[in-house]
Structure 1
Amino acid sequence: MLHKVCLQWYLIFLCLGCWVNSEETCQNFTDLNIHNAILGTDLKVKLLLYTRENVNCAGNLIAENSTAFKYLNVTKKTIFITHGYRPTGSPPIWIHDIVVKLLSIQDFNVICVDWNRGATTLIYHHAAAKTRDVANILKTLIDKMLSEGATLDSIYMVGVSLGAHISGFVGKMYNGSIGRITGLDPAGPLFTGTPPDERLHYSDAQFVDVIHTDIDALGYRESLGHIDFYPNGGTDQPGCPKTILGGSEYFKCDHQRSVFLYMSSLNDSCSIDTFPCANYRDYRMGKCTNCEDFSPRGCPVLGFYADKWKDYLVAKNPPMTKAFFDTAAKNPFCIYHYHLDFVTLNSKTRRGYITIKLVSTDGNQTEYTVDQRDPATFEQYKEVSLLAKFDKDFAVISKVFVTFTTGSIIGPKCKLGVQRMRLRPITNLNRPILCRYDFVLLENIEEELKPIPCQHTNLVVDENLMD
């Protein structure tokens, strides 16, 4: 009897030991706090591996006697996710989501580079000084993978802020032969103006794409990749606080938006269309929407699938392209682009702004106002083409509401005689081209119109619509 009791307790302790050991193999991202930031942290790196086999239980590839290598299949594509500066020590809020979204696409090796011990400090340049050391640690793992049959083509590095430059340093160690680097708002302070060997550069990988969202503060302003995306011009992201009253979000929201834009590209809900252009103003003025001239595939999309345009981008001389676009304020951030064309009848030139609201058959609405920085100039019989952007895409538009304003608060109200207004889709070319003919817009008065398919006939001037 005593023997049986002892055996039972032995089995219980054995199972508890198995449970503890099993728990120990599940590694979490290092969680520090402001106390650690004040004291500063020495560099200690974890390489947390996730695959579809262990999506909720990361193994640390750098740990002594690590069992995580059983999940590492070097014949698969490997994606390294590297964060940046951590002034408060907390884990990035997006880490788990980006892992899950990537693994929902394909069974990659996803390796989160946790250098929170090292990145956590109140002194930014102390963290920046550790970036090359992190890169050296990554090279040690990649060398091991290469010795076991991995290829440089299969290495894809996604780096955030300082992590973008870490990715670049790794790429330089392999003479630019790794497959791809995506830089998410690469850090600007201490890196701006430095030579290519001291920062991310397009020569660091076979394909380098960069998303700039905070070029006037924490991010890098100039081009770094084969293609550099500038959402909303690279500054003042919609939905982010505009004043310090927004608290900590005021300082980090624009910078962090690059990550959330990239993550939105991993969804099936929509793709974020971008427009190669010389500058943001030309994009806003609708001068860069002829995507067929850019490539047979059209204009590139932002994020994960941008490499579908790799061949066209790398072949350019020099191999650097800037792409501009606007986004919505909330996930999934997509905007649907239209040309809004006006032919007006006023004998005197009018300058002003157009607001247009689209209404679907089920009553949903979406609205666009011409940017206040870009007043339109309406001249008699001369077509003006505006770039209209909406956060919803309607298969059928039942009504449009149009308002014209000069922005002036003094003087007599103006009217705009419109011979033809035309709405042409850019994003979704399957949508019909819609028109309205012969109507008057009174300043600051919303006009309700029912759009109709455009006529292919000569326009007839209605003298009553002229001044």
Structure 2
Amino acid sequence: MWVPDSEGILHMVDLLDVEPEDTPVPFFNGEKDVDLMLYTQNNPSSPEYILQSDPSKSPSFNPANPTRFVLHGWTSSYKQMDPIRKAYIDTGKNWNVVLVDWHSPASSEYSISKRNSRRVGEYLAEVIQHLVANRGLRLDDVYIIGHSLGGQAAGVAGNRLGGQVARVVGLDAAAPLFGTTSEKNRLDPTDAKVVQGIHTNGGLLGWKDPLGDVDFFPNGGSSQAGCILDVSGACAHNRSPTYYAESVVSQDFVGAECDSYSKYKKGTCSGNVHAPMGEWTDSSITGNFYLNTNSKSPYAQGNTGL
């Protein structure tokens, strides 16, 4: 299949080229290949760097505040996820926002970057363990949020932490080459106390089926309003982090629990359960939720999207 990179350039991916998933990753060095960039209200735009070898190097980190680790996808960098950083800072609340920049391991051909994403998740788990041991971080205060390959890496990190982080969010978690991957090496419901999936290009670039405790399917989960002639799926795939950034400052992405998008559109959902998608989804909510969005920002429709 053809998979677009972050610039929209198409690359051929052989879906039969599936190597053993625990194949060693040569030359990977977490501290050199992955930057963990900390932003807080004290340093909203100039990051401090969290180092596994010396966690004390990030003086603005406050373990009393909620911590959000945010991972980008294939051929991208932290800049793709910067709107999420800005959204958290713009709330005026105190957060530890950590953009996980793994652009070098993410810039190889897709099959190699897929393999690298596992090591990125494992390295992130190691750093989080160090923050727990040395800085007083509580896993109950941690969300790990990842887009595309970063969504799968987020699941690996959660798995290596024993599923004890508060939440892992897969933003259209990558599908190509993950169909036969074991659950320990991809996002699944055991990776956190709550796993949330947001599906925007399911069946092409993103995972189609529910993969969490709660899954949201904006506009049905495969194509997105405003993405015209989106043959490659890139526009729809990249909407998920955009929606998440908006969800941080708005609870207006209101989804309805339903058996299918067709029933949702007909208004024949069997129950009356509604929930906001994204940052503010209550941890008790489970099931599959559908909603519509606008074709441009602001994307959330509030209750009118029901």
TM-score (norm 2): 0.83
Answer yes or no: is the 8 Å Cα contact 2:72–2:80 preserved in 1: no
Q: Which residue of 2 aligns with 1:147?
A: 133
The letter for the 2-side match of 1:263 is A
- Alignment equivalent of 2:50, drawn from 47, 53, 61: 61
Report how far residue 103 of structure 1 moved: 2.2
Q: How does 1:249-288 map to 2 (within 5 A)?
A: 250-268=232-250, 271-288=252-269
Report how far residue 94 of structure 1 moved: 3.9
Which stretch of the first structure deviates more once superposed, 188-197 or 65-74? Answer: 65-74
Residue by residue over 1:103-150, the C-alpha shift from the partner in whole angstroms, topping out at 9 and shown as x without a partner, is: 2332111111110011012x1011000122112221221111111322
Q: Which residue of 2 aligns with 1:204?
A: 191
The letter for the 1-side match of 2:163 is G
Work out the CA distance in 2 between the residues paired with 1:330 and 1:259. Answer: 14
Answer yes or no: is the 8 Å Cα contact 2:35–2:49 preserved in 1: yes
> Which segments of structure 1 move beyond 6 Å, counting only runs of 4 or more?
63-67
Q: Which residue of 2 aligns with 1:96?
A: 82
The letter for the 2-side match of 1:311 is S
Answer yes or no: is the 8 Å Cα contact 2:84–2:244 preserved in 1: no
Work out the CA distance in 2 between the residues paired with 1:302 and 1:69. Answer: 31
Work out the CA distance in 2 between the residues paired with 1:259 and 1:227. Answer: 17
The letter for the 2-side match of 1:301 is P
Answer yes or no: is the 8 Å Cα contact 2:78–2:99 preserved in 1: no
Work out the CA distance in 2 between the residues paired with 1:196 and 1:177. Answer: 16
Q: Which residue of 1 aligns with 2:40?
A: 51
Q: Which residue of 1 aligns with 2:284?
A: 311
Q: How does 1:54-453 map to 2 (within 5 A)?
A: 54-62=43-51, 68-86=57-75, 91=77, 93-105=79-91, 106-121=93-108, 123-148=109-134, 149-242=136-229, 250-268=232-250, 271-288=252-269, 290-291=271-272, 294=273, 299-306=274-281, 308=282, 310-313=283-286, 321-335=287-301
Report how far residue 72 of structure 1 moved: 1.4
The residue matched to 1:209 in structure 2 has which SS?
strand
Q: CA distance change for structure 1 residues 203 and 91 in 2, over 3 Å: closer, same or farther?
A: closer
The letter for the 2-side match of 1:258 is S
Report how far residue 285 of structure 1 moved: 0.8
Q: Which residue of 1 aligns with 2:21?
A: none
Work out the CA distance in 2 between the residues paired with 1:276 and 1:84. Answer: 28
Work out the CA distance in 1 between the residues paired with 2:180 and 2:265. Answer: 28
Answer yes or no: is the 8 Å Cα contact 1:59–1:66 preserved in 2: no
Report how far residue 170 of structure 1 moved: 1.2
Larger radius of gyration: 1
Answer yes or no: is the 8 Å Cα contact 1:84–1:119 preserved in 2: yes
Residue by residue over 1:362-402, the C-alpha shift from the partner in whole angstroms, topping out at 9 and shown as x without a partner, is: xxxxxxxxxxxxxxxxxxxxxxxxxxx5xxxxxxxxxxxxx
Work out the CA distance in 2 between the residues paired with 1:217 and 1:129. Answer: 19
Report how far residue 97 of structure 1 moved: 2.1
Report how far residue 195 of structure 1 moved: 3.3
Answer yes or no: is the 8 Å Cα contact 1:79–1:110 preserved in 2: yes
Q: Name the count of aligned residue pairs.
A: 279
Answer yes or no: is the 8 Å Cα contact 2:83–2:242 preserved in 1: no
- Runs of at least 5 residues in structure 2 that lack an aligned partner in the other structure: 1-5, 12-25
Report how far residue 252 of structure 1 moved: 1.4
The residue matched to 1:223 in structure 2 has which SS?
coil
The residue matched to 2:143 in structure 1 has which SS?
strand
Q: CA distance change for structure 1 residues 324 and 158 in 2, over 3 Å: closer, same or farther?
A: same
User: Higher RCO, 1 or 2 (CA under 8 Å, sep at least 6)?
Assistant: 2
Report how far residue 91 of structure 1 moved: 3.4
RMSD: 2.6
Answer yes or no: is the 8 Å Cα contact 1:159–1:182 preserved in 2: yes
The residue matched to 1:113 in structure 2 has which SS?
strand
Report how far residue 93 of structure 1 moved: 4.6
The letter for the 2-side match of 1:335 is Q
Work out the CA distance in 2 between the residues paired with 1:140 and 1:204. Answer: 15
Q: Which residue of 2 aligns with 1:342?
A: none
The residue matched to 1:171 in structure 2 has which SS?
helix
Q: CA distance change for structure 1 residues 33 and 287 in 2, over 3 Å: closer, same or farther?
A: closer
The letter for the 1-side match of 2:259 is A
